Amino acid sequence: MAYPFVESPNKTVARGRAIDVVVMHTMEIAERPDAAEICARWFRTPASRVSAHYCVDANGVIQCVREKDIAWHARGGNTRSIGVELAGFARQTTRDWEDAYSRAVLARAATLVADICRRKRIPVRWLLADDLIAARRGITGHVEVSKAFRRSDHWDPGPGFPIESFLDRVRKAQQAARTARPKV
């Protein structure tokens, strides 16, 4: 899938890296139509010293770092991961994640993450800090990278993030893509 590309200079250019983990974040930017653009602009600013591969809001997805390169999104866990930023806040309750805006964000993110997992053959399961330390492959949150490697105190996407329903959406998106693919 090709998304609009707003290149971030905040990255480590890599060659032939293995990708084992997708790390979910919240941008800490309000639910507004241009949240992904605002986030991408911040990542494009050299002084910010941060980036992620993808920024997702209710309207769309913007890519900021090529998947082959290392984005600076989760200290201690960047080398083998892809970072996905979601519009919203880590302090959102499960209920907040159910409003129309968040549902649209989660739907777009699920399609994106399903595609990444399919291409990189990453299992659709949620990893905790111990799994990351054991180098297991899957999907996780920034908070687990922080707990595992103790290089950051970021706790996004927050305790209200609907892990199970998100994984379910990712699985459904993969099934839908399989059915849609023409049989030869």
Q: Which residues bind Zn ion (CB under 5 A)?
A: 25, 142, 154, 156
For Zn ion, the closer CB: 74 or 170? 74
For Zn ion, the closer CB: 25 or 108? 25
8 A C-beta contact, residue 38 and residue 29: yes
For Zn ion, the closer CB: 142 or 147? 142
At 20, which amino acid appears? D
Task: For the CB of residue 25, give the shortest distance to Zn ion in the complex, in Å.
Answer: 3
Task: For the CB of residue 75, give the shortest distance to Zn ion in the complex, in Å.
Answer: 10
Q: What is the dihedral of CA 89, 43, 123, 153, to 10 degrees?
A: -50
Task: For the CB of residue 160, give the shortest distance to Zn ion in the complex, in Å.
Answer: 15
- β-strand partners of 25: 85
Q: Please give the backbone phi and psi of residue 5, each rounded to the nearest 5 degrees, phi first.
A: -115, 120
Task: For the CB of residue 182, give the shortest distance to Zn ion in the complex, in Å.
Answer: 38
Distance CA 155, CA 113 (A): 20
For Zn ion, the closer CB: 138 or 141? 141
